Structure 1
């Protein structure tokens, strides 16, 4: 029997939904105190909210109650005003994306089968599922032709996490829950996955609730951060800027840690500073044309791109003199790149790692987009530090005026 035609795609994808937690509590039998106690908060549609707090404070438990992987003891969870505490939890989980540490992919399924899992469960036609798998792979920066039939064991840790995010988004849920999804990968891969999530959010506008123990990650990713004490009690729920500049108490200050001004480098993106063009050539270009470009150019260096337009090697004039008709041994391999969604801190670390004082900027699938250099980054750092200095001086002036006002009141009251 022929398969029925796929329904027409919606005019636009599902965007985020408002989440309201109302007096949410979780008690485990045998425990003297609740794991989560009387938590209430509103998470606005389309924002990324980060839960951060010490180990064992209940942040993952709170997250898992949103899709009822853990059933709340009392309280309410509302998603776009629908009380989800009384509906079928299995149906709920098909409407809420969920990504965890180490991706959670099924090892016996291919990449395509993993991504197709929830769309297949909710009854999408095969043709629509097939198109969606390719769309999701492209969205997370993986070539569908290359990765469609691979198994998780054939992927790097970063690639597995990308597939895990693709699977979580495959059925187009308005809400995405992420429980320390990047905690098991190396720092460089983690930075790139964070950048990828920011890029995806610019396109998709989902409501994302993200658990981490890393405050720097929280600053980089969050529209707002909920700093949680034991039992998920909210110490402060505010923007990264507000928490960095005005922590609510000593507990929050402990999470901010030293160097709050420098942590603000995590709030500014590479896209907010100058990304400049740089001389480039392709590995397929004739060696003589590359030599001519270097010899005639004002710079003594160019960036060699591979066949997929990705940064490959930095080439200097002296390198070509030693090339002897081949680029195989010429130049220096590109080890670090950043995306436009990388923070200034990411870019500064990459530039400092490379003594030449610049780093290549890439877009989707690692394609070259430009270069950001040390001078640009240092100018931005100085601007941030100066802004902090002025803000601190203004704050001190306000405190002095308040103290003077109290002194006058006391003197007037004593006369």
Structure 2
């Protein structure tokens, strides 16, 4: 009978007066930080370079030993336990993946399960499961070495390795900082999808506020020495920054930044007409004539978006699809934000972007009209919120003026 495992969901994390002081330094690197992170929550640390956010993260799994304070994971004080055992219970993913170059992908992922004494079959099954989970074909990738992977593929393997022993907590230190913007967007989407399935507790460090908005259930905006300037939801920070320091991170265009809070799956997708590369050319002509549209989407044999085909393209194709149409350069997933979709649409003169599923398969299309409607809704919501806040302020001022005019004992002053 095959062995069954129960997936570990997230664990709560409590930081209590956590500090780090390095010898010879006049000021602590991290000074008296207290914070509660709920089980299954994604919390993002964002702040300027050198503010102590990575140091705070590394103290959670004691890669850096605290000078003072307490760390509790699911109520257990982990400050005094064996740090090696602790790290086996806490997944850790870093920038540039940090894979061992002399090990295959499978060996890299299997590292912690092997160290904790898992049986070989369980390890092998886990490697297959995780490669599939992060969107890499096990048959194609398990035997490769890191140098044979792209940057995005290495990061996926890095996340798989961090999840290998099914830890309740996942720490991520700028994991997507070294890849190109398009790959970074897709990796962010992948992490969001994984979190929907796994419900881990994720603590994520970034210097990119847009990334923080996209990924975080809550964001901790940190000043120097990891002092917390504001710890709240992305919506609350965007609409009501605590002070000028936080406003500096939000920057201009808060309404547009709020497009990072809405996912493609939350808006209506168009069901675009599609054909596959196996469809005969005459049938495609007939399809175009019958559909009443001037354009169709050509899918490859795995139903992934391949080319946009217009009538004029087919007329010039002379019986072949090889030279016809425009290659699909960019797609978005259902977990992409509306900001991702807007950027993709703006780079495409035709004003639309294809939406894909977990394995790149076609799902639908989001167009400029849908996105602009969403922008207008957000702007209107911001306008109404500002009017309401102004009205409350005016009422408070009127009330204060009334009290001042009444004077002591409720007697109106002459």
When the two structures are superposed, what TM-score results if normalisation uses the length of structure 1?
A: 0.97
Deviations 1:195-241 (A, max 9, x none): 11100000000000000000011001100000001110111000000
**Greater displacement, 274-283 / 94-103:** 274-283
How far 1:307 sits from its partner (Å)? 1.6
CA contact (8 A) 1:302 1:315 kept: yes
1:90 corresponds to 2:95: no
Which of 183, 186, 195 is residue 201 of structure 1 equivalent to? 195
Q: Does structure 1 residue 274 correspond to structure 2 residue 268?
A: yes
- Give the deviation of 1:288 after TM superposition: 2.4
Q: 1:345 aligns with which of 339, 356, 360?
A: 339
What CA distance in whole angstroms lies between the structure 1 residues aligned with 2:407 and 2:231? 39
Per the TM alignment, residue 299 of structure 1 is displaced from its structure 2 partner at its CA by 1.2
Q: Which residue of 2 aligns with 1:174?
A: 168
Matches within 5 A, 1:130-145: 130-145=124-139
Question: In the alignment, which residue of structure 2 is the partner of 1:264?
Answer: 258
Shift of 1:286: 2.2
The partner residue of 1:115 within 106, 109, 112 is 109
Q: 1:275, 1:369 → 2: CA distance?
A: 9
Aligned mates of 1:283, 1:289 — CA distance in 2: 12
Greater shift in the superposed pair: 296-305 or 242-251? 296-305
Partner of 1:299: 293
Structure 1 position 225 matched with structure 2 position 219 = yes
For the pair 1:9 / 2:39, whether they are aligned, the reply is: no
CA shift, 1:385, in A, is: 0.5
Partner of 1:187: 181
Cα displacement (A) at 1:104: 0.6
User: What does the per-residue CA deviation read over 1:144-174, in whole Å, with 9 as the maximum and x for residues that have no partner?
Assistant: 1111111111111111111111111111000
Matches within 5 A, 1:303-318: 303-318=297-312
For residues 131-151 of structure 1, the C-alpha deviation after alignment (integer angstroms, 9 at most, x for no partner) is 111110111111111111111
Q: Are 2:212 and 1:212 aligned? A: no
1:22 equivalent to 2:16? Answer yes
For residues 133 and 289 of structure 1, the distance between their equivalents in structure 2, rounded to whole angstroms, comes to: 44
> What's the offset of the Cα at 1:412?
1.7
Question: Aligned residues, how many?
Answer: 409
CA distance in 1, matches of 2:322, 2:330: 19
1:46-74 deviation digits (Å, cap 9, x = unpaired): 01000001110000000000000000011
Which stretch of structure 1 is more off in the superposition, 106-115 or 24-33? 106-115
Query: What SS is found at the alignment partner of 1:118?
Result: helix
The answer to which of 19-28 and 109-118 deviates more is: 109-118
Pick from 283, 292, 309 the counterpart of residue 289 of structure 1: 283
Distance (whole Å) between structure 2 residues aligned to residue 113 and residue 326 of structure 1:
45
Give the counterpart of 1:162 among 148, 156, 163: 156
Residues 142 and 365, structure 1, Cα contact 8 Å, conserved in 2? no
Q: Does 1:73 align with 2:67?
A: yes
Give the corresponding residue for 1:45: 39
Structure 2 residue aligned with 1:398: 392
In 2, are the aligned partners of 1:24 and 1:40 still within 8 Å (CA)?
yes
Contact 1:245 1:260 in 2 (8 A): yes
Q: How does 1:328-407 map to 2 (within 5 A)?
A: 328-407=322-401
Q: Kindly state the Cα deviation for residue 284 of structure 1 after the two structures are TM-superposed.
A: 2.1
Which has the higher mean CA deviation after the structures are superposed, 288-297 or 152-161?
Answer: 288-297
- TM-score if structure 2 supplies the norm length? 0.97
CA contact (8 A) 1:21 1:76 kept: yes
Equivalent residues of 1:261, 1:385 under 8 A apart: yes
Contiguous gaps of at least 5 residues in structure 2: none
Provide the rounded CA distance (Å) in 2 between the counterparts of 1:56 and 1:173: 28
Moved over 4 A (4+): none
Instruction: Quote the offset at 1:252 in angstroms.
Output: 0.7
Distance 1:154 1:365 in 2: 21
